[in-house]
Amino acid sequence: MSSSEELKRKQEEARNEFYKSSSSYSQQKTSHRSNSSSNYGTNENQISKIIKYIGYIEILAGLLIGFILGNQATNFSWVVAITWWCSGFVAGMLFVGFPR
């Protein structure tokens, strides 16, 4: 076997060893990253659900307060009711859309 063939064989072996070790390192790093991100995603998902429910509650509260304060002794005050409905809707949608 000539020295150039032996050199090529050693280079090929070194290349194979390098790629074998780097692929196992890459797989370990990827599995570690996926485990840590799944734990983070669960916690983030719970917080986003809570914020979304706060938004829904705020929309309902705006509707109820609009009906209650819009009802006056003689007639229904549309200005007061619509103000509460719109502000409750906008604030609620901010909370619903914020977690995304």
Helix axis angle for 3-70 and 78-97, nearest 10°, is 160
Confidence of residue 93 (pLDDT cuts 50, 70, 90): very high
User: What confidence tier does 97 reach under pLDDT thresholds 50, 70, 90?
Assistant: confident
41-73 per-position pLDDT tens digit: 566 688 888 888 999 999 999 999 998 888 887
> In this predicted model, what pLDDT tens digit does every residue of 7-46 receive, in sequence order?
888 888 888 888 887 666 556 655 555 555 555 556 668 8
How many angstroms separate the Cα of 60 from the Cα of each of 26, 35, 42, 49, 55? 50, 38, 27, 17, 9
3-state class of 1 per DSSP? coil
Token duo for residue 56: 């829904």
pTM above 0.95, yes or no: no
